């Protein structure tokens, strides 16, 4: 790997951890220089400003999540197990996060909830991606007679994602996985009893 590419990737990696643990607004350029070992000049050589770095860091974290989640979903051969794979992913994410600081989509949503920041738009895209993934699973499940045809896929997807993200927030606040486990177990039971044929 060429040195400029290595430098840029290291800046994104270290900044991602800072933004996702400390917050985007409270992470200073000095925090980033301390974490990376690079000067401000080196950082500005690769990123026009902190806003651009924030966007690229979020996109990098989002790509990591979607790539990992998609692989887990694709491994499964029926709708129930695909939905369970999503639950498994987020349950494990609480205890063994591969990105420090929790779910980047949730963190952006909370930090920028009352702003018009481009990062809020990125968070909105992230939630839409998760919702659309669940809708696709439900739609395909209906086609293959695995899921109740009367189920409203969009309503279910909203409840499913909101329950997961809310339980992640509660588990993070309480420093344990109890809340996400309770929600995950409830959703598993609901899926098996109410929507799977």
Cα 92 to chain centroid distance, Å, stands at 13
pLDDT class of 117 with cuts at 50, 70, 90: confident
Report which of 139, 191, 138, 142 is spatially closest to residue 163, judged by C-alpha positions: 191
Mean of pLDDT over the chain: 92
Q: What mean pLDDT comes out for the span 3-14?
A: 89
Q: Is the pLDDT of residue 119 over 70?
A: yes
3-state SS, residue 196: strand
At 183-193, the pLDDT tens digits run: 999 999 999 99
At 125-162, the pLDDT tens digits run: 999 999 999 999 999 999 999 999 999 999 999 999 99
What residues have CB less than 8 Å from 105, skipping those under 6 apart?
A: 62, 65, 123, 126, 127, 130, 165
pLDDT class of 5 with cuts at 50, 70, 90: confident
Query: What is the pLDDT, as a whole number, of residue 102?
Result: 83
Query: What is the pLDDT, as a whole number, of residue 2?
Result: 57
Q: Is the pLDDT of residue 76 over 60?
A: yes
pLDDT class of 96 with cuts at 50, 70, 90: confident
What φ, ψ does residue 147 adopt, rounded to 5°?
Answer: -130, 145
Q: Which domains does the chain have, with CATH numbers?
A: 57-195 (1.10.357.10)
Cα 87 to chain centroid distance, Å, stands at 12
């Amino acid at each position: 790997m060429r040195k400029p590419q290595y430098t840029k990737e290291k800046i994104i990696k270290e900044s991602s951890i800072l933004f996702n643990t400390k917050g985007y607004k409270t992470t200073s350029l000095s925090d980033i220089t301390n974490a990376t070992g690079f000067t401000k000049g080196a950082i500005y050589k690769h990123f026009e400003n902190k806003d651009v770095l924030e966007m690229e860091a979020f996109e990098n974290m989002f790509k990591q999540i979607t790539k990992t989640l998609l692989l887990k979903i694709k491994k499964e051969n029926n709708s129930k197990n695909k939905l369970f794979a999503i639950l498994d992913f987020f349950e494990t994410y609480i205890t063994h996060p591969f990105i420090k600081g929790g779910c980047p989509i949730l963190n952006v949503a909370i930090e920028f909830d009352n702003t018009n920041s481009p990062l809020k738009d990125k968070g909105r895209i992230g939630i839409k991606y998760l919702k659309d993934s669940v809708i696709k699973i439900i739609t395909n499940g209906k086609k293959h007679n695995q899921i109740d045809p009367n189920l409203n896929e969009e309503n279910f997807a909203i409840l499913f994602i909101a329950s997961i993200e809310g339980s992640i927030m509660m588990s993070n606040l309480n420093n344990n996985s109890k809340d996400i486990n309770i929600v995950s177990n409830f959703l598993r039971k609901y899926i098996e009893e109410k929507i799977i044929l």
